[in-house]
Structure 1
């Protein structure tokens, strides 16, 4: 918290921000303003709500501190990973919400979509940047909706790959040392993103669809990626691990095919040994690299899914109940800070070397401290004494009064807009 203290102009929001982050690290059932205020011992959620909406502090400056904090603790020459995640919502007033596909639900749902940037190294992984995706027609071209949700006039429509590139360039401009960027098909299919990374000398391993057309052979024949894989001889495939999974190394068969005239540009193909299912990646690097290097980067892409799981399950990334543009960014950024703290603690608790290198590893030895375990231990240490009956009842009465007022407003609005039969 000392790192971000200077980003607050007054002591009151600074203290509230500390209570907010401690609440995110606690065992509170839901990490919204109501429950975080009760967890902090406040009488009302007003201070927490003001922190997210009207208090004067620069959320992007705090985001920059989160990024530098992560880079300091996870070491250099990691991999930048881009991906989006959905936040299921009701209604139509939350900034950026509409019916759209989200992998969170696996179908089209009413949701907001956030594009995120993660940093992963051998030490660990964490989220370092975020952008809220605004659909073009339903939001960017609707001044009334924009104004109602507090979207700044300077914010224009940007595709998800464009938002990803903005975050990547911001990380590189602030001194992030990385040789690779990876992402799924949404980003691999965008030629502008690939060209921008090449212009900055940053290699990439980006997933693409099986129908992607590539140039192979000396005569530069254009074929679909799946057709290029079908022509490979058996000895072109190599069994390699894409990294450690929950149940052991993730072994796949891998092959690569040079595409175009650039010797450092290739199509990487992954085959599931059990099902034969294929996945394809467009790869480029400023210098010659081994197949194992591309396989490592392709396998690291799944780290951002682990970040989403930890952020939503441990620090309430998706527990917010806000509609405003600035409120969304403030909640998300403070949740990223809480996740970064847990990641830094996990890194610091890993032993640098065994006290006895000749001692064999036994199955009874505990694994390294995980983020969920650290959050549980930290939350237990911060657990407040049992609230008095008077305090519990006061919060119960306040919640029920607030809910009664909200219900009354909804009924009046419905009756006013409904025509008699």
Structure 2
């Protein structure tokens, strides 16, 4: 199996850049070095990544150094995760959790979260009319000229084109942030729609939101590839 380090010739430098962004979370030099070696091991060619094989991969006689970093050394996991993200994307199981949306907004983390059609949302129309309707009902209010055909990314059969629209949600927005309802419509079956509640900088474009929504569909595929590549599959 070809290791992930062979995929890009400049991957080591990219890993250096990425780790440089999180290295300050490790106060001491020794655990900082070991954390870096651990990442190299995960991306190496060993087909399985148990503790002993990882130790051999990174040149350690025993696995205790890495185990200590993972189980005893104090470092802020939430801060490390925040460094490595631009958006949070999730399906409706998570998107309908209002407490999650509030948490992300307080941390100023942009998101594109799918919601069920019965999610009740608030919209202020261009005529300054306040509407409180289900997401599916709001989606039905979009006029025909309000849709834009955009690709959500490449799928098994090429570009995945859908019709897209967005409505600005009425929330207690604090500049420079804003909220929208993003709506995806099947090009052939206009009754087939999907809705997303989104949060991001005020200058966020419709295309930006569509790109993130499309990336969410690849999550399961990425998980499977990562498990295989890192030797963590069943």
Aligned residues: 195
Q: CA deviation at 1:267?
A: 0.7
Counterpart of 2:159 in structure 1 is 249
Is 1:238 the equivalent of 2:148? Answer: yes
Cα distance change on mapping 1:22 and 1:295 into 2, 3 Å: closer
Report matched runs for 1:2-401 at 5 Å.
Answer: 6-7=30-31, 21=41, 25-27=45-47, 31=48, 51=63, 57-59=68-70, 169-172=79-82, 176=83, 179-216=86-123, 217=125, 218-261=128-171, 264-276=178-190, 277-319=192-234
Q: Find the aligned partners of 2:53 and 2:204 in 1 and give their Cα distance.
A: 49
Contact 2:182–2:196, Cα closer than 8 Å, also in 1? yes
Shift of 1:198: 2.0
Conservation of the 8 A alpha-carbon contact between 2:49 and 2:230: no
- What residue in structure 2 maps to residue 76 of structure 1? none
CA separation of 1:286/1:36 partners in 2, compared to 1, >3 Å: closer, same or farther? closer
Deviation track 1:66-89 (CA, whole Å, cap 9, x = no partner) reads xxxxxxxxxxxxxxxxxxxxxxxx
Q: What's the offset of the Cα at 1:25?
A: 2.5
- Closer, same or farther: CA 307–228 of 1 in aligned 2, 3 Å: same
- Bigger Rg, which one: 1
User: In the alignment, what sits opposite 1:331?
Assistant: none
CA apart distance, 1:195: 1.7
The answer as to whether partners of 1:24 and 1:36 remain within 8 angstroms in 2 is no
Inter-CA distance 167–184: structure 2 relative to 1 (3 Å threshold)? farther
Match of 2:87, SS state, is: strand
Check the 8 A contact 2:120/2:133 in 1, yes or no: yes
Find the aligned partners of 1:35 and 1:178 in 2 and give their Cα distance.
Answer: 30
Q: Structure 1: which 5+ residue stretches go unaligned? A: 9-13, 41-46, 65-165, 320-421
1:260-291 Cα deviation digits (max 9, x unpaired): 15572211011122444321110122423221
Q: CA shift at 1:186, angstroms?
A: 2.6
Q: Distance in 2 between matches of 1:315 and 1:211?
A: 39
Give the TM-score normalised by structure 2: 0.64
Q: Please state whether the residue corresponding to 2:221 is helix, strand or coil.
A: helix
CA distance in 2, matches of 1:251, 1:62: 47
Do the aligned partners of residues 25 and 61 (structure 1) sit closer, same or farther apart at CA in structure 2, a change above 3 Å counting? farther
Consecutive unaligned residues of structure 2, counting only runs of 5 or more, are 1-11, 24-28
Q: How has the CA–CA distance of structure 1 residues 296 and 63 changed in structure 2, closer, same or farther, with 3 Å as cutoff?
A: farther
Cα distance in 1 between the residues matched to 2:99 and 2:42: 41
By how many angstroms is 1:177 displaced?
7.1
- Relative to structure 1, the CA distance from residue 191 to residue 60 in structure 2 (aligned partners, 3 Å threshold; closer, same or farther) is farther
- Deviation track 1:73-113 (CA, whole Å, cap 9, x = no partner) reads xxxxxxxxxxxxxxxxxxxxxxxxxxxxxxxxxxxxxxxxx
TM-score normalised to the size of structure 1?
0.38
